[in-house]
Amino acid sequence: MGRGLAAAGIVVLGVLLFWLSLSSWSPFTITATDAWNGLIHQGSVGGNRAYIVAQLRVPRAVCAALVGACLGLAGALMQGITRNRLASPSLFGVTAGAALGLALFSTGLVAPPFAGGALLMTCLGGALAWVTVFSLGGAWSPTTAQGRLVLAGVAVAALCAALTRLTVILVEAQAQSVLNWLAGSLANAGAAQVQLLWPCTLIGGLWALWCAPRLNLINLGEDAARSLGVGIASLRLQVFIASLLLVGASVCAVGPIGFVGLIAPNILRQFLGNDYRWLVPLSAALGAVIVLGADLLSRAVAFPVETPAGVVTALIGAPFFLFLARRAL
């Protein structure tokens, strides 16, 4: 019953925030009728305001939900495979590595000569950062302290951030566009970003659901999981690939938005326990709610000027991390 209520509450809150995002904090008045016509009729009726809702607000809200779902899924997967509640894309340097990869691509310093180069670069950047963090932090050793892995992640994230800034300085002509993207803003999110995100979210989400029962067994300990038939190395590789796809797509679409993958699974764990069959799908749903809420707050804080959603999630996530770290370390 508690799990069902938690799921229902998240869905209701998500629908409410999605609806509010269509009409709230707009430089011109958008009525509920305009929002309805834009959502249901795609702006074909209702005039210019309904058309604006259909072309701007609906894709932005969908993009926010998909980004949140990607980051929530990635956080749940990373926490499951490492058995570390502090694991998340931002704290393990994956987000910063993905941002560095896309900065190199956007400035033309590294440009693969084929379609999909941006997504490839974000995934490669995230992969290199993750491998470095796990190597430095001794992630697979049963005797490694959780704090060591987090410290390695913080160090690698700082290095990637410094290299990203260096990239921007070296290619000054592209600096403004890259800096706007690095803030993690949904202001320019549209249909193109949705087209990038939904296949990655679908594939990564189904992959994560497939891994979820085996993550439950991992929580019993690696020896117990092996005795129950779990291929540890294979599962690690699958989680690695799925997480990189999810994080890479979100960073490629709207830039780095931190702490969502840390917050969503840990809040849900208070109600659901460590059952990843529930944690994985509901982390996606709660992640979507968090980013939708952060996007709404980003418009409200200094209206009519927009604050990047990434700043809002950082202001919420940093104290949340300190609270968790105090309990876990």
One-letter amino acid at 119 equals L
Per-residue confidence of the chain (329 residues) as pLDDT tens digits?
578 888 899 999 999 999 999 888 877 778 888 888 888 877 666 678 888 888 889 999 999 999 999 999 999 999 999 888 888 999 889 999 999 998 888 877 777 766 678 888 899 999 999 999 988 876 656 555 667 888 888 899 999 999 988 888 877 666 666 777 788 889 888 899 999 999 999 999 999 999 999 999 988 888 888 888 888 889 999 999 999 999 999 999 999 998 999 999 999 998 888 899 999 999 999 999 999 999 999 988 877 778 889 889 999 988 888 888 777 65
Q: 116-132: per-residue pLDDT in tens?
A: 788 888 999 999 999 99
Q: 9-43: per-residue pLDDT in tens?
A: 999 999 999 999 988 887 777 888 888 888 887 76
pTM: 0.92
Q: How far is CA 303 from the centre of its chain?
A: 25
> Percent helix, strand and coil across the chain, each rounded to 5?
75, 0, 25
If 0-12 CB within 10 Å is exposed, 13-18 middle and 19+ buried, where does residue 203 land? middle
Q: 65-74: per-residue pLDDT in tens?
A: 999 999 999 9
Q: How far is CA 65 from the centre of its chain?
A: 10
Distance CA 306, CA 259 (A): 20
Helical residues (DSSP H) of 1-116, grouped into ranges: 2-23, 32-40, 47-52, 58-82, 94-106
